[in-house]
Structure 1
Amino acid sequence: MNSIRKSSIIVGVLFLLAAVTAVIGLVLYDPILNGPDYMTRGAEHANRIILGAIMELVLVVSAIGTATTMFPLLRTYNETIALWHVCFRFLEAVVITIGIISVLSLLTLSREYVAAGAPDIASFQPSGTVLKAIHDWTFMIGPNFLLGVNTIMYSYIFYKSGLVPRFIPVLGITGSILVFAASLLEMFGVFPQLSVWGALMSLPVAANEMTLAVWLLAKGFNESALASLIARKKARESGASV
């Protein structure tokens, strides 16, 4: 049971870390992702951009950490869904990493532009547009589309297993559906990627992660529910082997 408490703390810390670093990273990227003068502002704020990339790398590690730490617990209820969750969380991390690489490549392009003495921007603009588009699409697919998929999987197991109070997975399932829908609406251009509607539809999933993190740090997973799941899993396995 001590290991379960440690797992609760690790997952809680990683969820908080992922949320904080995601917001900080997006804020730090502002000079190179927004505004018409991003080609010069990127180089001027190079250290800030690199720090933003480091924040997102921490986000990547945190996302993988939550999935792998929760896997032994989730598998006691449904091993298939638990494995899907790990795989899709890794996929989300890969997509986010591609976005990080695109921003750092855009920073290199900005530095080359400034070092060349501000030549005709038309020769640099197409590459800049493509790199910004790669970041925008990875941001839409990773922390939105795939986040919705991942959240609904672990929330479903939490709801059915009783590992955490049911109001938390209910919030998670609601949030996952909304953020998933928001990503689709953004893909089809119903509203911009960074918009009031997008932010409102993302709030429940963010609230779920924060609520889950605080609960796990304060209370941890329900150990009696976990013991019951383990007992039922062993009974099924012993029955199958007979």
Structure 2
Amino acid sequence: MNPLDRTARTAGILFLLTFVSAITGAALYAPLLSDPGYVTGPGADTRILFGAVCELVLIIANIGTAVVLYPVLRRYSPAAAVGYIAARIMECALIAVGILCVLTVVSLRQTGDAATYLPVAQALVALHGWTFLLGPGFVVGIGNGLLLGFLMYRSRLVPRPMALFGLVGGPLMSLSGIAVLFGAYEQMSVPSALATMPEIVWEVFLGVYLTAIGFRIKRGVGAQEAAPVPPSMTHRSG
């Protein structure tokens, strides 16, 4: 397997891992996030801790996708490639704040006088909700959607019609996050789901395509020949 194939497949696996870890983490958090009185009840702390581990895996996989793809993507637009890494780091910073929120609620529930901390616990759950909106609900649209969509469209490393899902779906997802911020509709609502769908299609496609097929490059040649040459690197002679 040549280096570009290895890079593509590693990135694809990491994208798929982000889906698995994000969905699993959200499911495990459900008892804490859906119960306003969780801190005073019997709790499901072990389940919440496993959810936090899943989100730590999500952080690693998120940053991994950007770091693994950077050496290839920078050939087409260094600024956009760096921007993609920055967006991934920002997204993960917000996810990390959300993890700290739920872990703090678990700690408060284990104190001797948990009822005293009920307002604090509810505030932490609300803060987790905002981190989810601003991270996966807004920054992802800029990074994974607009920037990565642009880079993949320009490089033709994946089919251009699919890259359009990122170019269009990313900004649509971010605009939906702003709409939720101003109370136009709930984050878990039909309008929000419809606005998010193109971005989900884009990310699932990337994970499956890169894992199963790899980059759209010529086979049977060296890595330097295989990598498409961006327009900015070409020059005229004579």
Per the normalisation by structure 1, the TM-score is 0.88
Matched, 1:29 2:29: yes
Q: CA deviation at 1:235?
A: 4.6
What runs of 5+ residues in structure 2 fail to find an aligned partner? Answer: 219-224
Q: Tell me what 1:222 maps to.
A: 216
User: Helix, strand or coil: the match of 1:223?
Assistant: coil
Q: Which range moved further: 217-226 or 97-106?
A: 217-226
User: Helix, strand or coil: the match of 2:186?
Assistant: coil
Kept after mapping to 2: 8 A contact 1:73/1:226? no
Q: Tell me what 1:13 maps to.
A: 13
Q: Tell me what 2:134 maps to.
A: 141
Alignment deviations for residues 125-160 of structure 1 (CA, whole Å, 9 cap, x no partner) = 221122112101110011111000102101011112
Task: Give the Cα–Cα distance (whole angstroms) in 1 for the partners of residues 214 and 130 of structure 2.
Answer: 36
Task: Give the Cα–Cα distance (whole angstroms) in 2 for the partners of residues 36 and 139 of structure 1.
Answer: 18
Task: Give the Cα–Cα distance (whole angstroms) in 2 for the partners of residues 226 and 182 of structure 1.
Answer: 39
1:124-163 to 2 correspondences below 5 Å: 124-150=117-143, 151-163=145-157
Kept after mapping to 1: 8 A contact 2:36/2:122? no
Q: CA deviation at 1:73?
A: 1.1
User: Helix, strand or coil: the match of 2:110?
Assistant: helix
Task: Give the Cα–Cα distance (whole angstroms) in 2 for the partners of residues 111 and 2 of structure 1.
Answer: 52
Task: Give the Cα–Cα distance (whole angstroms) in 2 for the partners of residues 103 and 163 of structure 1.
Answer: 39
What runs of 5+ residues in structure 1 fail to find an aligned partner? Answer: none
More helix by share: 1
Alignment deviations for residues 59-109 of structure 1 (CA, whole Å, 9 cap, x no partner) = 110000000011111111011110111111111111111111111011111
Q: CA deviation at 1:49?
A: 0.1
Q: Which amino acid aligns with 1:164?
A: V
Q: CA deviation at 1:110?
A: 1.6
1:146-185 to 2 correspondences below 5 Å: 146-150=139-143, 151-185=145-179
Note the aligned Cα RMSD (angstroms). Answer: 2.1
Q: Which amino acid aligns with 1:17?
A: L
Q: Which range moved further: 91-100 or 218-227?
A: 218-227
Task: Give the Cα–Cα distance (whole angstroms) in 2 for the partners of residues 127 and 93 of structure 1.
Answer: 24
Distance 1:127 1:192, change over 3 A: same
Q: CA deviation at 1:233?
A: 5.6
The alignment covers a number of residue pairs equal to 230
User: Helix, strand or coil: the match of 2:158?
Assistant: coil
Q: Tell me what 2:222 maps to.
A: none
Kept after mapping to 1: 8 A contact 2:165/2:199? yes
Kept after mapping to 2: 8 A contact 1:148/1:177? yes
Kept after mapping to 1: 8 A contact 2:12/2:206? yes
Kept after mapping to 2: 8 A contact 1:163/1:226? no
Moved over 3 A (4+): 232-236
